[in-house]
């Protein structure tokens, strides 16, 4: 089977690949601005059918209690993705603009292998816990705690790392016994739609367990938050949209998981290798054109070495010219769309208006007439109150901010509505760990450590979200807890 061989994707509803009632919409290559093909454009009626199918599959079949079937289906999907890795890689590079090197990690291969954690967890999980016999209120009682699937899960995902985020929701939700309706971002519909093809052709998932609904209309996805048949919404995206998801879900008091924005800080302490740390910060901020919610985009450095830090960051970032994502050497590809490029340019104008200067970059690359490219940019001369230090840009933009010691560095890092991630570099591991412990964030990289892993929970504090994805904590987001008390003799 050639994935999307006809260059047109379909919806997956109730076990069948079907056309969208709204026709189709185009999906573009952000590096070339060429139309790749079309995706099925779902309407509210299509979403209604998908939710109904998921509801029936949960209520009327044994899916939620058949752990062996769930594990087998997840492993089948994983193997199908492995078998079609070459096709998936080219699709991802073309549709997402993801640099080829990243498809060997979080853009494809990493998430596929992470499905093993979901299947393994379901196999070994303690679904019931025996608390033994006690006599509450004088009544001899045998107590058991059971963990059960939440029910129908609506998963709403963004465009920046579509395979990683789609599978980080589908994997644990399905392994836990839920049925799912996945609504991906309109910018990357194919990355989700190909899962539908693989599910139908290569797995034993029963009809209605997995439903994939692509649409150019964000209101179609919003129906998942509003529909009383949906028990939980798992959303990754902007904080603004996350608020709307929470508000819509409040009407039915459904469970809501939110993984939202970030404005993470990279702290360099005065005993660190300044040039090495700043170079790493610049490299990280340029990767995938800065389109990652946990990317550190505030570089917080000792005031007395500020100019040296700016120079080091600019030397690295200025050498990472945006390039063709099909090439294995490319680090910074295009941003996803003209709309996103325009948004980033608005932030760059605000930096200049507020008194900042560009140590490198600052606009579109002069050598590229097509594609949605932005130069990797280092902004100097601003403090933590600047717009570019407060708001999530989602582009290859790094703002350098001065600090006056460890306590001030922590204050600056925590002076943000977000709390997703952070980095600390110091020549002393204990000192770095002490600073990291004071950061109000969900993940911390200390002296080059890596937190991204299938068994590590990911999520944030404050306006960066509610709950955790991945790891055992992410698996348990998709479970309810039932206390069972049986009278004992």
Contact 185, 85 (CB under 8 A): no
Distance CA(325)–CA(343), nearest Å, equals 21
Task: Supply the pLDDT for residue 175.
Answer: 98
Helix-helix angle 85-96:189-202, to 10 degrees: 160
Sign of CA dihedral 6, 9, 15, 19: negative
Whether the CB-CB separation of 382 and 354 falls below 8 Å is answered with: yes
User: What is the pLDDT of the chain when averaged over all its residues?
Assistant: 97
How confident is residue 344, by pLDDT bands cut at 50, 70 and 90? very high
Distances (CA, A) of 274 to 320, 410, 431, 474: 19, 17, 16, 36
Taking alpha carbons only, the member of 379, 265, 382, 389 closest to residue 317 is 379
Residue indicated by tokens 């070339």: 32
Instruction: Tell me the pLDDT band of 299, cut-offs 50, 70 and 90.
Output: very high
This prediction has a pTM of 0.97
Helices and strands per DSSP (H, E), number in the chain: 15, 22
Looking at the domain 265-446, which fold is it? Aldehyde Dehydrogenase; Chain A, domain 2 (3.40.309)
What is the tens place of the pLDDT at every residue in 105-118? 999 999 999 999 99
Q: Which residues of 215-231 are buried (b: 16+ CB within 10 A; e: fewer)?
A: bbbeebbbbbbbbebbb
pLDDT confidence of residue 362: 97
| Contact present, 235 and 256 (Cβ < 8 Å) | yes
CATH 3.40.50.620 at 8-261+464-486, yes or no: no
Q: Is the pLDDT of residue 1 over 50?
A: no
**Active-site residue, selected from the candidate residues 259, 375, 392, 469:** 259
**What residues does each domain of the chain span?**
8-261+464-486, 265-446
Question: Is 197 noted as a catalytic residue in this protein?
Answer: no
Report pLDDT digits (tens) over 193-202.
Answer: 999 999 999 9
Percentage, residues of the chain above pLDDT 70: 99
Residues 392, 343 contacting (CB under 8 angstroms): no
If you search the block for the tokens 């949960």, which residue do you land on? Answer: 58
């Amino acid at each position: 089977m050639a994935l999307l061989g006809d260059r047109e994707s379909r919806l997956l509803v109730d076990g069948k690949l079907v056309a969208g009632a709204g026709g189709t919409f185009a999906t573009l290559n952000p590096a070339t601005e060429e139309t790749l093909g079309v995706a099925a454009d779902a309407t509210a009626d299509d979403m209604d059918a998908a939710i109904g199918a998921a509801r029936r599959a949960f209520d009327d079949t044994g899916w939620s209690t058949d752990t062996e079937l769930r594990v087998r289906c997840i492993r089948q999907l994983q193997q199908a993705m492995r078998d079609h890795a070459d096709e998936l890689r080219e699709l991802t590079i073309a549709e997402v603009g993801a640099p080829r090197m990243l498809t060997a990690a979080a853009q494809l291969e990493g998430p596929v292998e992470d499905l093993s954690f979901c299947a393994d967890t379901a196999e070994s999980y303690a679904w019931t816990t025996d608390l033994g016999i006690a006599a509450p209120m004088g009544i001899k009682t045998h107590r058991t705690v059971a963990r059960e699937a939440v029910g129908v899960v609506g998963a709403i995902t963004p465009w920046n790392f579509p395979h990683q985020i789609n599978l980080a929701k589908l994997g644990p939700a399905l392994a836990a016994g839920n049925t799912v309706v996945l609504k991906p971002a309109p910018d990357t519909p194919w990355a989700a739609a190909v899962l539908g093809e693989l599910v139908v052709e290569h797995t034993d998932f029963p009809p209605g367990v997995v439903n994939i609904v692509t649409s150019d209309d964000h209101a179609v996805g919003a129906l998942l938050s509003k529909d009383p048949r949906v028990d939980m919404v798992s959303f990754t995206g902007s904080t603004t949209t996350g608020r709307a998801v929470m508000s819509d879900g409040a009407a039915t008091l459904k469970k809501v998981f939110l993984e939202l924005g970030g404005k993470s800080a990279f702290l360099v302490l005065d005993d660190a290798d300044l040039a090495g740390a700043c170079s790493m910060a610049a490299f990280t901020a340029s990767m995938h054109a800065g389109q990652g919610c946990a990317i550190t985009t505030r570089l917080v450095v000792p005031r007395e070495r500020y100019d040296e830090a700016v120079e080091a960051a600019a030397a690295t970032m200025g050498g990472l010219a945006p390039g063709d994502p099909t090439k294995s050497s490319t680090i910074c590809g295009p941003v996803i769309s003209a709309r996103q490029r325009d948004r980033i340019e608005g932030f760059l104008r605000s930096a200049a208006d507020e008194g900042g200067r560009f140590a490198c970059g600052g606009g579109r690359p002069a050598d590229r007439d097509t594609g949605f490219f932005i130069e990797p940019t280092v902004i100097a001369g601003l403090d933590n109150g600047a717009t570019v230090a407060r708001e999530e840009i989602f582009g290859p933009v790094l703002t350098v901010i001065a600090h006056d010691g460890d306590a001030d560095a922590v204050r600056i890092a925590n002076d943000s509505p977000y709390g997703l991630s952070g980095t600390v570099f110091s020549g002393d591991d204990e000192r770095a760990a002490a600073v990291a412990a004071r950061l109000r964030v969900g993940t911390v990289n200390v002296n080059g450590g890596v937190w991204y892993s299938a068994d590590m929970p990911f999520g944030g504090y404050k306006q960066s979200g509610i709950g955790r994805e991945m790891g055992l904590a992410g698996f348990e987001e998709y479970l309810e807890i039932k206390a069972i008390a049986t009278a004992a003799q």
